[in-house]
Structure 1
Amino acid sequence: MFRIEMLPAAHGDCLWIEYGNAQQVRRILIDGGPAHTYPALRERILQLPADERHFELLIITHIDADHIEGIVRLLQDAQALNCRFERIWFNGREQLNQVVDPAGVPLGALQGEMLGMLIADYEKRTGKQVWNVGLTDALAAIDRTAGKLPVVDLPGDCRLTLLSPDHERLLELKDCWRDELRKAGVASGDEAALRQALEGARNLRPLGDVLGADGEPIEDRFELPDPAGRDLAAGLDDTLGGGDGEAGADAPFGGDASRANGSSIAVLLEYPNDQPKVRFLLAGDAWPSVLEASVNQLLSGQDKRLSLTGFKLPHHGSVANTSAALLRKLRCQHYLVSTSGAVFRHPHVRALELLLSEHAGQGKPQLHFNYLTETTAAWSDPADQQARRYQAFHPKGLSLFL
């Protein structure tokens, strides 16, 4: 059994994965969406019996608000929800400082430091080491000089191969964190200041174990895109974008310059690990050039493409995180797009049209969206699907199941 759900996370990501059998279902959670969509994740957790709220792995791909804020709230709620994690993968200050850096300056940003503090709190409370467990040197990163990609086997015959980030991308992120902390008025490792900042962030408050306790709505709100490209919904701004900010729909393919996105964790999930029937590329917001380099390492001399069951598109279908070179390395059937189109109006039409033109899988390409909104409706026309030989699926409920 394998199931993946894209929970409603507005312009962000929140992936709920289940595998195993009826006797023992195992779970992986990837990202938590922005703060205001956390009630949907919390509701999904509360649907489980209290003694089954257990995850083999929680991955926080990177520090952008539309991926991290829901996890900040969840970790504060974990004890009340009886929510338990065997492993939490996240690159924070301590991990970045492990990467060999000619400058040798330890750095940290507010988002990463705050989440790192909460993971450390979780370890102290549970008495269990979870932070980057299973990864070499407790670092979720690729050393290209090692000649092979990190591989971790999870209980229940699930295998994860790390595809992003590499050390170079982490160093680029590390280089700009000092300035971000200075802007926030917080010194690296200042736990008292971090806790004060967290307590003062009303949008990041925990909700406890009572469903709908504070009346906060579970349904998503659709934020109107801001003309200046700012994230109006974020409490912890996406401050580490770099370059000229969020790439627009007319940007060059594969041109993402965001240091935060470059640091995104991406994995190849295979289940069962001995003879995989399911292979998913779960890309976070990773750069296509980094993914392409990793896919090349996986391909043998005879294999021209990596065969996949599904591909969760990086950065919500942005042109900046899509490239023909990457797509030509893949043979895929299902393509997942997690976004409501809020704020940055993803997915970009050009990105999905490129995907359809480069599709090389067996049968028609199948597009899976977790919202039916203005930005995803272009692929909802049955006549267009029939004429151009693709299929598209939009949700009928709170989340998409595959």
Structure 2
Amino acid sequence: MIFKFLKAQNGDCTLIKYTDNSGAQRNIIIDSGLDATYFDLATNTFGELKAEIDDIKAHDQRIDLLILTHIDNDHICGFLKLFEMDEQIPGIINMVWFNSGKLIAEKIEIEANKALAIKMQQQGVVATGVSEGIDFEDFLLKYDFWARDLILGGQRHVIHDAQFEILGPTIAQLHKLLKEYQDKTEDDAYTSAGTNDWRTDVESFIQEEVSNYNFSQDTSVKNGSSISFILTLKGKKFVFLGDSHPRPITKALAELGHTAKKPLAVEFLKVSHHGSKANTNKKLLSTLDTEHYIISTNSQVYGHPHKRTLSRIIARNPNAIFHFNYENVRENIFSEADRGKYNIRARLTPSIFYKI
């Protein structure tokens, strides 16, 4: 069983490969990063997602589950480029999870606005991901592998021995997302400052948060709509949070019996929103017991990961191991002072293999 954290620029793209109890090889893809994860037009080169798709085909395997957690460009655009350039791809997909605008409107009994059928941004603008979500939905509607079921917190799914306990989104969050489709053309996640906070040392962050720091949760509606879940596979548990907001996820975990007093033991936590300080708070961290924290980003655009987030993790767990999929982030985020005072363990981790 292997988890691959593909180079997806400032986005996410995870491939899970395992053998089910019948001996069949299975593949799950979660998100797809930006275009260059599949094909980089600027350099005329294919990315890691292309190589993995080719490998799946070469071994006569299928994509058993394709998950788009939410519609931000750094999660969806690689899929759009894949579908544009690979005519064979529909023939190897078994199932898709995607909470589209029209699907939300239909399932929660709100009439879809006409805006759902038109593009809401100019070509090449990376403001919202709404038009990309519409393009993705239009593609999926042509094929039977999209069952058009809403994926919601509280659900449980078993697919080829992989068990999913869905933590989010909630119906309320999807109501808000529908309005995004209908009338919004800007996104807080893409208008926020792009500078990082790496010059501040870990000790300063820890001390500040002990005293008088007020946590401010991410306000992006699309991030809050992320499909997030606990995955149980081969007796091991993993948490994938997309770009979700911490308070609803903490509530969902509590409803499953996982609290600071009874934290859920997991192999790793895929940290929300590339380590943004507004998507991981101390209460969420207290409900999960792990040493391994996965962060996917090249840190080239929005200043992620925030060192404040990593400092919260260190304060919660001094034995934390940070896994990055880009060397520049692993190498540069922690200063010599940080490494001297704390037992910083930061690794370049393109993949994690579990021998079962």
TM-score w.r.t. structure 1 length? 0.71
Q: What letter is aligned with 2:188?
A: G
Partner of 1:73 in structure 2? 81
Report the CA distance shift for 1:389/1:83 in structure 2 as closer, same or farther (over 3 A): farther
Q: CA deviation at 1:55?
A: 1.5
| Amino acid paired to 1:266 | S
> For residues 252 and 348 of structure 1, what CA distance do their matches in structure 2 show?
16
Displacement of 1:104: 4.7
Give CA-to-partner distance per residue, 1:312-347, whole Å, 9 cap, x none: 000000001010110111111210000000100110
Once the two structures are superposed, the pairs formed by residues 1-400 of structure 1 within 5 Å of their partners are 2-20=1-19, 23-38=23-38, 39-40=46-47, 41-80=49-88, 84-100=92-108, 104=111, 106=113, 108=116, 109-121=130-142, 123=143, 128-132=144-148, 138-142=149-153, 149-155=154-160, 157-180=161-184, 239-241=186-188, 245=192, 253-272=215-234, 276=235, 278-299=236-257, 304-359=262-317, 364-374=319-329, 377-379=332-334, 388-395=342-349, 399-400=350-351
Preserved CA contact (<8 Å) 1:119 1:131: no
Aligned amino acid, residue 150 of structure 1 = Q
Q: Secondary structure at the match of 2:87?
A: helix
CA distance in 1, matches of 2:352, 2:256: 28
The 1:302/1:285 distance shift into structure 2, 3 A limit, reads closer
Which residue identity is paired with 1:114? D
Residues 83 and 369 of structure 1: CA distance in aligned 2, closer, same or farther (over 3 Å): farther
Provide structure 2 residue ranges, at least 5 long, that are not aligned to the other structure.
39-45, 117-129, 198-212
SS of the aligned residue for 1:4 comes to strand
Inter-partner Cα distance in structure 1 for 2:191 and 2:283: 24
The letter of the residue matching 1:389 is: N
2:41 corresponds to: none
Tell me what 2:206 maps to. none
Contact map agreement 1:253 1:321 (CA 8 A) in 2: no
Structure 2 SS opposite 1:43: helix
SS in 1 for 2:294: strand
Q: Which residue of the partner structure matches residue 43 of structure 2?
A: none
Q: TM-score if structure 2 supplies the norm length?
A: 0.79
The percent of aligned pairs where both chains have the same amino acid is: 27
In structure 1, the gaps of 5 or more residues are 133-137, 143-148, 184-238
The amino acid across from 1:166 in the alignment is T
State the distance in 1 between where 2:249 and 2:172 align.
13
- C-alpha distance in structure 2 between counterparts of 1:14 and 1:293, whole Å: 26
CA RMSD of aligned residues (A): 2.9
**How far 1:49 moved relative to its partner?**
4.4
Pairwise CA distance, 1:264:
0.9
Whether 2:352 is the aligned partner of 1:401: answer yes
CA distance in 1, matches of 2:190, 2:59: 46
Structure 1 contact 253–322 (Cα < 8 Å) conserved = no
Taking a change above 3 Å as real, the CA distance of residues 49 and 69 of structure 1, as seen in their structure-2 partners, is closer
Write out per-residue CA displacement over residues 174-194 of structure 1, whole angstroms, 9 at most, x where no aligned residue: 1232224xx6xxxxxxxxxxx
Letter in 1 for 2:332: A
1:5–1:15 contact (8 Å) kept in structure 2: yes
Moved more, 327-336 or 295-304: 295-304
Q: Give the counterpart letter for 1:353 in structure 2.
A: S
Give, as a single letter, the amino acid of the residue that structure 1 aligns with 2:179.
D
Cα 1:152–1:99 shift into 2, 3 Å: same
